[in-house]
C-alpha cells in the first residue's frame, strides 16, 4: 500500500466530524447544517470517485449474472450498493416517496496482518453506510437519516441466500415462506424492507416476478475510461406495507425500483456530477438514464441509460439518444442551485417527458449534500399521453462544502 495519496475519500467527511469525542463542545467548528457530522459520501458518484487501489477484483468485462446469488454481496470488489427508491400511496390518498440505500465499502483488498493476540471480533475491512429518506408530500416534509456500521457482530452485512442486507436497525431481508421457483424456473423476489428513525417507520413487502434488467453492455456499465461496474436494475417491484408516521400507522402500496451495482474503479476527476433518472411509466415501461457532467458543465459522453418496455425487453440508451433540458431551477437554502424540472426526450422511443419534483427540497444534508427525490412525470409516448412516477438523483450541485478546517489534524502516510 505504498504511496497512498491523501485525498478525498468516501470517509473523509465522515471522519472530519466524527463524534469520536463528542467532547469537543468547546470551540466547535460550526458547520452549516446538521448532517455534516456523519456525512459519509454515500452517494453513488462519491463512492465511484475514490482513489484507485490495486488488489480488488475489477469490473472490466461482461460477466454472467446469476440470481439470486448476485443479489448478495461481492466483497472482492471495492464498493457495492443496494439502492431502493419508490413511491407509495396511503389508503387516504396521501403520497410518499421513500429511499433506502445501502453501501458496502471495502477499506482494504485483504485482511490486515494477523495480530499476535487473539483477534477481536470487531476487526474487519468492510464497512456499510445507509441512507433512509421519506418524502411526505402531503405535509411538505422531507426526512432523512443515516446509519454506519462495520461488518462485525452482525452490526452490518449482506448475504445472498437467504437474501439479507442490513445496516444497524435497517434491513432488507428475504421472506422465506414464498421462496419457491415459479413455472419458468425464475425465482420470484420476495423481500421485506424495514427502516425507522425520527417520526417515520417503514415496513414494506417487495415482490417481483420479473427478471433483473442488465444495464449497459449485458450488465457492464462504463462510466469513465477506467471506471466500469456491474449494474442491474429491477424497475417494477410491487410494494405494500405500513408507513408509521409519528405513531400513526398508514397502509401504503405502490412501486419500487432496485438498482444494484458493484465495482472497484473510480471516476475521472473531471467528472463533476450527474443527474440520474429512474422513471416508471404508467404503460408498464421504464426509463433509466444517468447524465454525467464534466467540470465545464458539459454532458460527459459516458452518460447512458436503459429503456425497458412493458414486456421487460431492455434497450440500451446511448448519450446521444437522450436530450435533456432544464426547465426550472431550485436554490437550496443551504447553498447551491439544483435543476428542478426537466424536459426529457428519447428520440428512439418517441418519448417526451416533463419531469417535476414532488417537493422542491429533497436535499440530503449529508457531506457532501445531494438531492435525491420523488418526481412526477407527464408526457407522451408514441403520440399517447403517459404519466410516470420515479426518482431523480442530483449530485455535484451543492457549493464547495464548508469543511471543518483541519489544520491541526495530520494523518499517517499509510503503510
Partner 1 sequence: MGMLWSASFRHLLRHPVQLLLALLGLALGVATIVAVDVATGSAARAFELSLDAVQGPATHELDGGPAGIDEGVYGRLVRTLHRVRANPLVEGYVTVGDHALQLLGVDPLAAAGFAGDGNDATQSRAVPAGPGSALGSGAALAQWLSAPAALLSRDTATRLHLGVGARFSVDAGGHAMTGQLLGVIGGDADGLAAVMLTDVATAQEWLGLQGRLTRIDLRVPADPAGAAELAQLSRELPAGVTLAAAAQRARAGADMTQAFNANLRALGLLALLVGLFLVYGTMSFAIVQRRRSLGILRALGATRAQLLRIILLEAAGLAIAGGVLGLGAGWTLGRELVSLVSRTINDLYYVVAVNSATLPAAEPVLAVGAALAVALLAAAAPAWEAVYSAPQLTLRASVLEGRARRVALAALGLSLLLALACGGIVLASGRSVLAGFAALVLAMLSVAATTPALLYAAARNLRRWRPLDWPPLRLALDGIAGSLSRTGVAVAALAMAVTAMIGISIMVDSFRESLRDWLTHTLQADIYVGAPGPGFARPERRLDAAVVTDLVRVPGVAGYTASRRAIVDSDRGPVVLDAMDITPTLRAGVDLTAATADVWRQLQDGALLLAQPLAYRLNLSPGGVLELTTALGPRSFPVAGVFREYGNDRGSVRISRDVYRRAWRDDAVSTLALKVAPGVDVDAVVGRLYAAAAGRQALQVDTPAQVRDISLTIFERTFIITRVLNWLAAGVAAIGLLSALLAWQLGGTHELALLRVLGLKRAGAAVMIEAQTLFMGLVALLAALPAGLLTAVLLVRVVNRRAFGWEIDLHLHPVQFTGAITLAVVTALAAGAYPAWRMAHAPLSQDLREE
Applying the rule CB under 8 A, the residues between 351 and 390 that interact with partner 1 are 361, 363-365
- Residue 408 binding partner 1, by CB under 8 A: yes
Applying the rule CB under 8 A, the residues between 273 and 312 that interact with partner 1 are none
Applying the rule CB under 8 A, the residues between 8 and 27 that interact with partner 1 are 9-12, 14-27
Among 55, 60, 76, 112, binds partner 1 (CB under 8 A): 112
Q: Which stretch binds partner 1 (CB under 8 A): 33-41, 257-265, 316-324, 385-393?
A: 33-41
Three-class SS state of 370: strand
CA distances from 242 to 88, 273, 308, 346 (A): 10, 34, 29, 36
- Residue 318 binding partner 1, by CB under 8 A: no
Contact 176, 161 (CB under 8 A): no
Question: Of 290 and 330, which CB lies nearer to partner 1 in the complex structure?
Answer: 330
- Residue 37 binding partner 1, by CB under 8 A: yes
Tell me which long-range contacts 120-127 makes (C-beta under 8 A, separation of at least 24).
121/152, 121/153, 122/150, 122/152, 122/153, 123/152, 124/150, 124/151, 124/152, 126/75, 126/150, 126/151, 126/156, 126/157, 127/151, 127/156
Contacts of 73 (CB under 8 A, 6+ apart): 80, 104, 157, 158, 159, 160, 165
Among 28, 55, 188, 347, binds partner 1 (CB under 8 A): 28
Q: How far is the CB of 298 from partner 1 (least distance, A)?
A: 29
Closest-CA residue to 269 (of 296, 295, 288, 307): 295
Contact 173, 156 (CB under 8 A): no
- Residue 404 binding partner 1, by CB under 8 A: yes
- Residue 57 dihedral angles phi and psi, to the nearest 5°: -65, 145
Question: Of 71 and 166, which CB lies nearer to partner 1 in the complex structure?
Answer: 166
Q: How far is the CB of 280 from partner 1 (least distance, A)?
A: 26
Output the nine-digit C-alpha cell for 205. 413487502
Applying the rule CB under 8 A, the residues between 126 and 185 that interact with partner 1 are 127, 142-150, 153-155, 166, 168-169
Binding-residue pattern over the window 181 to 220 for partner 1, x denoting contact by CB under 8 A: ---------------xxx--x-------------------
Q: How far is the CB of 366 from partner 1 (least distance, A)?
A: 9
Q: How far is the CB of 38 from partner 1 (least distance, A)?
A: 4
Question: Of 122 and 177, which CB lies nearer to partner 1 in the complex structure?
Answer: 122
Sign of CA pseudo-dihedral 95, 285, 229, 296: negative
Among 108, 160, 175, 209, binds partner 1 (CB under 8 A): 108
- Residue 58 binding partner 1, by CB under 8 A: no
Amino acid at each position: 500500500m505504498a504511496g497512498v495519496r491523501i485525498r478525498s475519500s468516501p470517509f473523509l467527511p465522515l471522519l472530519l466530524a466524527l463524534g469520536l469525542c463528542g467532547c469537543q463542545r468547546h470551540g466547535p467548528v460550526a458547520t452549516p447544517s446538521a448532517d455534516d457530522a456523519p456525512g459519509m459520501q454515500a452517494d453513488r458518484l462519491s463512492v465511484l470517485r475514490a482513489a484507485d487501489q490495486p488488489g480488488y477484483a475489477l469490473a472490466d468485462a461482461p460477466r454472467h449474472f446469476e440470481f439470486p446469488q448476485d443479489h448478495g454481496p461481492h466483497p472482492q470488489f471495492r464498493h457495492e450498493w443496494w439502492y431502493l427508491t419508490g413511491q407509495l400511496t396511503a389508503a387516504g390518498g396521501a403520497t410518499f416517496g421513500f429511499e433506502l440505500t445501502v453501501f458496502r465499502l471495502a477499506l482494504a483488498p485483504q485482511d490486515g496482518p494477523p495480530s499476535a493476540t487473539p483477534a477481536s471480533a470487531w476487526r474487519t475491512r468492510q464497512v456499510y453506510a445507509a441512507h433512509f429518506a421519506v418524502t411526505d408530500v402531503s405535509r411538505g416534509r422531507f426526512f432523512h437519516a443515516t446509519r454506519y456500521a462495520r461488518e462485525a457482530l452482525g452490526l452490518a452485512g449482506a448475504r445472498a441466500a437467504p437474501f439479507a442486507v442490513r445496516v444497524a436497525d435497517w434491513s432488507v431481508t428475504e421472506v422465506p415462506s414464498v421462496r419457491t421457483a415459479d413455472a419458468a424456473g425464475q425465482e420470484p423476489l420476495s423481500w421485506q424492507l424495514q427502516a425507522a428513525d425520527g417520526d417515520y417507520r417503514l415496513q414494506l413487502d417487495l415482490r417481483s416476478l420479473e427478471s433483473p434488467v442488465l444495464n449497459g453492455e449485458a450488465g457492464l456499465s462504463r462510466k469513465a475510461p477506467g471506471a466500469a461496474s456491474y449494474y442491474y436494475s429491477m424497475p417494477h417491484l410491487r410494494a405494500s406495507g405500513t408507513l408509521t408516521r409519528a405513531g400513526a400507522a398508514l397502509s401504503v402500496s405502490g412501486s419500487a425500483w432496485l438498482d444494484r451495482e458493484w465495482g472497484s474503479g473510480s471516476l475521472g476527476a473531471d467528472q463533476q456530477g450527474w443527474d440520474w433518472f429512474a422513471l416508471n411509466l404508467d404503460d408498464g415501461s421504464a426509463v433509466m438514464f444517468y447524465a454525467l457532467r464534466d467540470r465545464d458543465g458539459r454532458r460527459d459522453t459516458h452518460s447512458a441509460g436503459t429503456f425497458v418496455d412493458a414486456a421487460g425487453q431492455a434497450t440500451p440508451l446511448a448519450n446521444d439518444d437522450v436530450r435533456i433540458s432544464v426547465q426550472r431551477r431550485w436554490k437550496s437554502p443551504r447553498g447551491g442551485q439544483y435543476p428542478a424540472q426537466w424536459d426529457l426526450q428519447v428520440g428512439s422511443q418517441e418519448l417526451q417527458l416533463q419531469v417535476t419534483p414532488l417537493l422542491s427540497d429533497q436535499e440530503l444534508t449529508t457531506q457532501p449534500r445531494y438531492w435525491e427525490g420523488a418526481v412526477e412525470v407527464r408526457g407522451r409516448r408514441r403520440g399517447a399521453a403517459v404519466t410516470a412516477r420515479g426518482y431523480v438523483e442530483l449530485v455535484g450541485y451543492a457549493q464547495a462544502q464548508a469543511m471543518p478546517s483541519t489544520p491541526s489534524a495530520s494523518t499517517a502516510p499509510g503503510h
